[in-house]
Amino acid sequence: MEQNLEQFARTVRNDVVDMLYAAQSGHPGGSLSCVEILTALYNGVMRIDPKNPKWAERDRFVLSKGHACPTLYAVLAEKGYFPKEELKDLRQLHSPLQGHPDMNKCPGVDASTGSLGQGMSMAVGYALAGKRPEHDFRVFAVTGDGESQEGIIWEAAMAAAHYHLDNLTVLLDHNGLQIDGTNEQVMGLGDIVAKYQAFGWETVVVDGHDIAAITAAASAPNKSGKPRFICCNTVKGKGVSFMENQVGWHGKPINQEQYEAAKRELEV
């Protein structure tokens, strides 16, 4: 099973590079860093039904760092929410696969995101709904380093603890870089795990490229009354050597030579 998930992640990475090369725009670095996180969530953690994307009792997923949507689209296609042939239409006019997720256009997308920080608040709202007597679903959100500097993230964190949302899990794609530089250069996050603990959250730290570790951390029942924060330590641009840990690859078109080099590495 683990080997199959590693292959799933490799397929997703290849699809992400193909999509971004075809679109000649988008965000390679942050898309590649969260591949294993989404691979874990959609394969054994979340309760979903690709044949019934609007199932009322499905678990909800919110990609708060919406610019990493190529990874979400690749995962959704791989799970059968829509034909994989549609991936080639990323960022094209009238395509359901816009540059940020649109829940009104793309099957399987639970939240329209892109304005950084707002996805976290949406996840809190979903989790509140999931606590109603007629519902029983969990909510998972993936956040980014840069948006963790936004005040709305911490308002949402405070609300989640106040309302005892133990059906909410937030996973931070902690790659240390953002569009303008390193986190420390732009606005240091400090000890973000300690901050979530101080806000009343249960916290876990994992290797963000270890699918089994992410699965274990996200699958376990939350402590009663506590939302869970999983700090996933990742590498921006993971899987493509010349993109790894390079802030310039936050949002940069891939030329033909770079595309061919990336595909050689990913097919190994």
Query: For the segment 140-189, what is each residue's pLDDT rounded down to a tens digit?
Result: 999 999 999 999 999 999 999 999 999 999 999 999 999 999 999 999 99
The full set of domain ranges for the chain reads: 2-266
In the prediction, which pLDDT does 2 show? Answer: 57
Percent of the chain with pLDDT over 90: 98
CA–CA gap between residue 35 and residue 40 (Å, rounded)? 9
What one-letter code names the amino acid at 264? R
Strand order in the sheet with 168-174: 60-63, 139-144, 168-174, 228-233, 202-207
* The residue to which tokens 């997308």 are assigned: 109
Q: Over the stretch 212-237, which tens digit does the pLDDT of each residue have?
A: 999 999 999 999 999 999 999 999 99
> 45 near 211, Cβ under 8 Å?
no
Residues 6+ apart with CB under 8 A from 189: 145, 148, 149, 183, 195
User: Which residues, 6+ apart, have CB-to-CB distance to 3 below 8 Å?
Assistant: none
Indicate the CATH number of 2-266 among 1.10.10.10, 3.30.1490.20, 3.40.50.2300, 3.40.50.970: 3.40.50.970
Report residue 185 CA to chain centroid gap. Answer: 23
Q: Quick one: three-class SS letters along the chain?
A: CHHHHHHHHHHHHHHHHHHHHHHCCCCHHHHHHCHHHHHHHHHHHCCCCCCCCCCCCCCEEEECCHHHHHHHHHHHHHHCCCCHHHHHHCCCCCCCCCCCCCCCCCCCCCCCCCCCCHHHHHHHHHHHHHCCCCCCCCEEEEEECHHHHCHHHHHHHHHHHHCCCCCEEEEEEECCEECCEEHHHHHCCCCHHHHHHHCCCEEEEEECCCHHHHHHHHHCCCCCCCCEEEEEECCCCCCCCCCCCCHHHCCCCCCHHHHHHHHHHHCC
Q: What was the pLDDT predicted at 267?
A: 85
Mean pLDDT by 10 residues, the chain (268 residues): 84 98 97 98 97 96 98 98 97 96 97 96 98 96 97 98 98 96 95 98 98 98 96 98 96 96 90
Give dist(CA 102, CA 113) in Å, integer.
7
Structure tokens at 223: 């402590």
Site of tokens 């960022």: 91
Which structure tokens are listed for 161?
């603890």
Burial class (CB in 10 A: 0-12, 13-18, 19+), 264: exposed
